């Protein structure tokens, strides 16, 4: 198995990618520790986070192979390359830009572009996307995934936006291979108050919800 395939397998293993958007980079290491303690080991640090590149580099240094640290909210190949240079292990974008896929694959890393319509999702897949981030999934819901996968079962889809503890299992049962979870997991109120036990508990609950949804129907 090549490194890219191994990374994609890890992104899908627990079924949860924590999408970290924060007002400050100060507590992100503690947030990552809480996520890991709860069983979530795939952490996407968005470029909208202050000093995002420095945070990615620091997380790689601290967590090494304990976590898979990716970069999110990547809008062009230059940003992708900058994040890769400091150690990002996968690249996520809210849009489909072939140049971002090329930058990730040039470094031997998974590319997860964003797409919305069936045509755009298939185009991203045909361009080499390892997973396609269906965004914003808030407006689509699990039924969209089920309908889309009926004629195109080869698609590897991950919803972002609208994923919470109430919908996580439904998205998995509808065919999502993993879930991008932001504020429903990385609770900003808990970060501000320093009560990171909340995030650890939420992480464990999301992991359990995915595991239960993946069980064969009885």
Residues noted as catalytic: 44, 133
CA–CA gap between residue 182 and residue 160 (Å, rounded): 8
CA–CA gap between residue 127 and residue 99 (Å, rounded): 10
User: Which two three-digit tokens encode residue 146?
Assistant: 């089920």
CA–CA gap between residue 17 and residue 185 (Å, rounded): 10
52: nearest Cα among 6, 30, 21: 21
Torsion angle in degrees (nearest 10) through CA of 162, 168, 170, 175? 90
Burial of 68 (0-12, 13-18, 19+ CB in 10 A): buried
């Amino acid at each position: 198995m090549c490194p890219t395939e191994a990374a994609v397998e890890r992104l899908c293993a627990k079924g949860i990618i924590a999408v970290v958007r924060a007002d400050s980079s100060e507590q992100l290491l503690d947030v990552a520790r809480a996520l890991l303690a709860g069983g979530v080991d795939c952490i996407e640090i968005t470029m909208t986070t202050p000093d995002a590149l420095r945070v990615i580099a620091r997380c790689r240094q601290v967590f090494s192979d304990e976590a898979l640290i990716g970069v999110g909210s990547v809008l062009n190949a230059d940003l992708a390359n900058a994040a890769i240079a400091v150690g990002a292990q996968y690249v996520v974008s809210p849009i489909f830009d072939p140049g971002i896929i090329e930058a990730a694959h040039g470094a031997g890393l998974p590319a997860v572009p964003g797409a919305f319509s069936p045509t755009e999702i298939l185009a991203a897949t045909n361009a080499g996307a390892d997973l396609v981030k269906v965004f914003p999934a808030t407006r689509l819901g699990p039924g969209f995934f089920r309908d889309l996968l009926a004629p195109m079962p080869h698609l590897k889809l991950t919803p972002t936006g609208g994923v919470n503890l109430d919908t996580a299992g439904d998205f998995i049962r509808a065919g999502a291979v993993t879930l991008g979870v932001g504020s429903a997991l990385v609770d900003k109120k808990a970060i501000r108050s320093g009560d990171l036990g909340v995030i650890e508990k939420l992480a464990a609950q999301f992991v359990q919800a995915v595991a239960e949804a993946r069980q064969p129907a009885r």
